[in-house]
Amino acid sequence: MSEPITGTEGLEWRLRICRPAFQDFQHLLPRYSVRSELNRQLHKLRWWDPDQLVVIDLPWQRLQPTGLVELFAQLDDGVVDTVRVLFFEYSPNPQVPTLWILGAMRADETLGSLQHTIYSGRSTIIRARAD
């Protein structure tokens, strides 16, 4: 994909979240006010462009070897300062670009092989079941 996920405002697009990612959000950010801040930040993903390293003001980078993407959002929370959100693009219908949110963790947590196993496992489930 070489264009923003919504190159034009009217283009149909989807931003979906898997259930374990929702559970990550609730576990990581028990306060609703902070979760709502993160949710608001994640709406910026509609302007995600693989050729730009920042979406509005959120930096992101692609992770190897899984090809998943990590995006960083700063929150006004007393406990978790910055959150790392994992997502990837998978569009079962090529006419409707779709991003999938896979989960979230603290930005200062290690993202090693165990975490890669978890998030790539979630992406495998999405590929097997999403339509």
Partner 1 sequence: MSISNLNEIPSDAFRAVLSISPEQRDFIRRYMECSDEVQAVVRSMFAVIEHEQTTDDDRHRAFATIADALYLNPQEGHGAYGLDFRKSQVETATQHPDPAWRPIIAARHEQMATQEATFADRVKAILQQKNITQEELAERIACTQSAISKMLSRKSRPQRKTILKMATALNVSPTDLWPDLEVAASLDSTAEFFNDRELTAAQAEALDAAISRPPAQVKTRELPSRAGR
Annotate each residue in 5-44 with x if it binds partner 1 (CB under 8 A) or - if it does not, as one string: ---------xxxxxxx-xxx--xx---xx--xx-xxxxxx
Cβ-proximal residues to 3 (8 Å cutoff; 6+ apart), any chain? 49
Count of H-run helices and E-run strands, the chain:
3, 6
Report how far residue 8's alpha carbon sits from residue 38's, in angstroms, rounded to the nearest whole number. Answer: 24
Coil, strand, or helix at residue 58? strand
Nearer to partner 1, 9 or 64 (CB): 9
Question: Which element (helix H / strand E) includes 120?
Answer: helix 113-129
Annotate each residue in 42-81 with x if it binds partner 1 (CB under 8 A) or - if it does not, as one string: xxx--x----x-x-xxx--------------xx-xxxxxx
Residue owning tokens 């975490």: 115
In sequence order, the β-bridge partners of residue 103 are: 86
Q: How far apart are CB 125 and partner 1 at their closest, in Å?
A: 6
Which tokens hold the place of 6? Answer: 């919504």
Annotate each residue in 81-100 with x if it binds partner 1 (CB under 8 A) or - if it does not, as one string: x------------------x
Contact residues for partner 1 (CB under 8 A)? 14-20, 22-24, 27-28, 32-33, 36-37, 39-44, 47, 52, 54, 56-58, 73-74, 76-81, 100-101, 103, 105, 109, 114-115, 117-118, 121-122, 124-131
